[in-house]
Structure 1
Amino acid sequence: MLCVILYLNMHLNKCLFVAALFMICDGFLVKGPSSPLVVPMGSSVVLPCYVDEALPLKGLKVIWIRTDLNTLVHVYQDYESRPDAQYQDYHHRAHFFTDKIKLGNFSLRLENVRTGDKGFYRCKVYTEQETDETLVQIKEVEHLSVSGADHLVSASVGEDVTLNCSVDSHIPPEHIQQVSWRKMDGNIMILVFEKNKTLPADERYRDRVEFFTDEIPKGNFSLRLKSVRTEDQGVYMCHANAGNFSANATAEVEQLGYSALHSIVFILCVIASASALLLTTLWYKMHRLQKTNAALLLQISSVFVPNLIMFFAFWFWGVIEGFLSETVACCAHYILRPLLLLWVSPHSEHFPGNRKTAIHCIVHLQYSLFTNVVYSVLFQSFWEKSLSYEQSDRVLITILFAIMILICITNIVFLLAELIRNKDGRMRAVLDLVSDIGHDVLPPLQLIFLFYAFGAASGALFVVGVFPLFLTLTRYNWKDACVERLECLRSVRRVAWISFMIVVNTIMVYSYLIALKKEKDCEGWVCVAAFLQVLWGIVVLKHSFGDLDLPFRHIVHIIGSVVVVLVNSFALMTELFLKMVNGERAMKDLRKVVFSSECIFASFVLLLIIFEPFIKKVQQHFQNPVSRSQQNPSSQNEAMSDDTPHNPSNQNQNAAQSFELRPMLETEEQEVGGDRDGGDAA
């Protein structure tokens, strides 16, 4: 009996072995990935599931299940995928490679991977006879988490603050594409970290913002905001990009306190206004009392003291609230402004040195110095974004800028030499020639520089930039032709000149507007350009017409020394007050006030100089309106009682008294005749 049992057991084991071997040979094995998957958030991933040999499609069924949540991801059955069977969270996100199923590829494509997709997925394959499965794990979804400050940031104006931004990611910091800080009010880009480099900030935040460089490898992209201003109040966003995903966090700077610098600016404005009023009042009183020395001293004080105070007011304003272009332009203007006021001062004949030379040089010097400052700031603005330019364009623009600066420096050297030592010589002649040529070519060079440097160059505008060159170079010829060939009156010459200047300056200012239209502070630059062109007009007028006199010097001096200072100081105080109340600036750019008012004043001076002959003749006419009638009263009575035309002398006398322009024209004709006689004699 025992032998029978052993025999049957031996044959049963053999049968089981053969049956198992048969199953292995005729069955299939489902394969998956060799290791867990790590997937970037927001990207697509393929969950592998396949067999080595194709399976018959008849009766084939493939089911993907999320095992940890027991949810149905996707199903293939009856020769087609069945999206209606999917769990809602995977609609339009999970797809079979339908055309590959007949080849034995049952992999699943999962799109727009989310953090919640991390887990285990089972791929189970059924045939009519057999079944097998594999397990796929999404171990990690690479995410980008950006966290900011959990509280409001507050500080006094002038202090430094830190805006927190921590980037938590499985991606190394050097692989992060970009981290940027932006002020939401106005959508102002403040600072950018890109390709392991820190890119320049907006002009208003230049040199005031920075990253903690040593902390960047740790994912710390916090921002240090230095010398906080009232306009810095608001919401800031830290935005990070890495691969196909991004994240952001915000930080808010709340209502700021005010520093002592705000009080200093306000006090300086008050002192500037009070000193302008007081010194000008005392000057006028000394002038009426004919105390020349005291009047001269007070006049010089009224020219320098208020303007220097305004210089410091704008300098402190730039530290706490202003930006580079505004601060430099306004400060440079108030340093140089006394030159124009000295030129129009009533007691300029008492200044030491040659008065004619000083009158010519002093405004020309202001124009050259201010041009240097303006175009240096413009060139600095161009250079910050010059990396986007071709190398040849960068070289050309740099050469143009160097030529302009060289011309201005030559003018300055020549003018200073004229002021210090007014002597003839070979060196003086050379400097004079270079100065004249440079003065003619400077305006068109400025336009060409602007068009190329700020991306507004085109064929038509380039011609507009060159056109003033030809007009300017003809200013010597048309004067001589008008006097000698056409025998024009001086009034005609001056009308022709002012028409010429209006055309040229209009072209120049309009060209500034077109060239700088892409700049955020375009309006401020246009106001600066308008004032610069009026100064240029005064210089050209003096060069074209020689010795000039300015009528109503006392009124002009009061307007320039008092009214303009009051307007600008009041504008600065108003801007400061509105910043304190509303937390933001009203004018945005004080150059629009400062240079608009200065342009109006300089234009008023220019018009007075142009029409100086007319003004003097009108003054003379009204000072002696009845001189002839007083000398011959009988002829006056006879003319008034006699209506017949037989007495031409009396009629001419009455006509001359009733029509005031005739003696003016006679005087002009005599002057023109004198010019011609003088030319013939020469």
Structure 2
Amino acid sequence: MLMFLLLAFVSQHASGVEVEQGVESVLLPCQVPVNVSMSSTAAVWDQEELTKPMVHGRVKSGDDLSLQNDRYTNRTSMRANALQTGDLSLTLRNPTVSDSGTYTCTARKQGQDLSRTEVQLKVTVPQSEFVEVTQGVKSVLLPFKTTPDLSEDVTVEWTLTQPKLMTVHVYESGNNQPHKQDQGYRGRTEMKEDPLRTGDFSLTLKDFYLTDSGFYTCTVYNKDGNVLLQKSVTLAVRVPPPEWVEVLVVTEGKESACCPLRPHLTFLRTSQWSGLSLNPNP
């Protein structure tokens, strides 16, 4: 009979949170009555789709992270007075697409569930940033700035995903890895020093061509292959617009006159205007 009363006391709630990848943190809400939290001996956040489901644990004396999944190390926190106030909300820092899923907030008393709240988290990739540049300038920057001080065991990889798949730049183990680039990008790419400390993963592309136009993606992942951060940049390389210059035209028997013509055209001396010849390849 006692078991029945304890189970009947459990309440369930559900909510959803959607956030773009790249924000510093996201709050997963979980509010329970104060009398429930005060009588609880623990509050636990789980992501049951994982083999090791615990995301964060809190007991009366403080955090209990002994069973926490490694992917959440140093990325979660709860209010210090959570069990006193009933606010069991979880702050998840640096959310990524791979963090999407159903999270469960459970208030427990000696192993029995008193309250259970489900939060559906959806982390989306931001819309592609658009960068336009004119052919002929020295370089173009594909921007990507995020939270600094990432772990040293992550890999940063820039790829061209459209119109064809190519490896543009790879940074791992604290160094650039030019041997992992596609041949066409070797010697043409550059990242700033110590990007993991600064959080600036922007890529400089030098000596670019019209064929460099396309859809670029920067992916940051850990040693287990889990995606931590991702951003896309669309690059459009344009042909410089035509410029008009004053060109002296000389005709036989007539005074000189000036007219605006496109550059890179040469003119031959002729006997009449209609006979003016243009050489497009000087």
User: Which of the two has greater strand per residue?
Assistant: 2
User: Which of the two has greater helix per residue?
Assistant: 1
Larger Rg: 1
Q: Taking CA–CA contacts closer than 8 Å with sequence separation of 6 or more, which of the two structures ends up with the larger relative contact order?
A: 2
TM-score normalised according to structure 1 size: 0.23
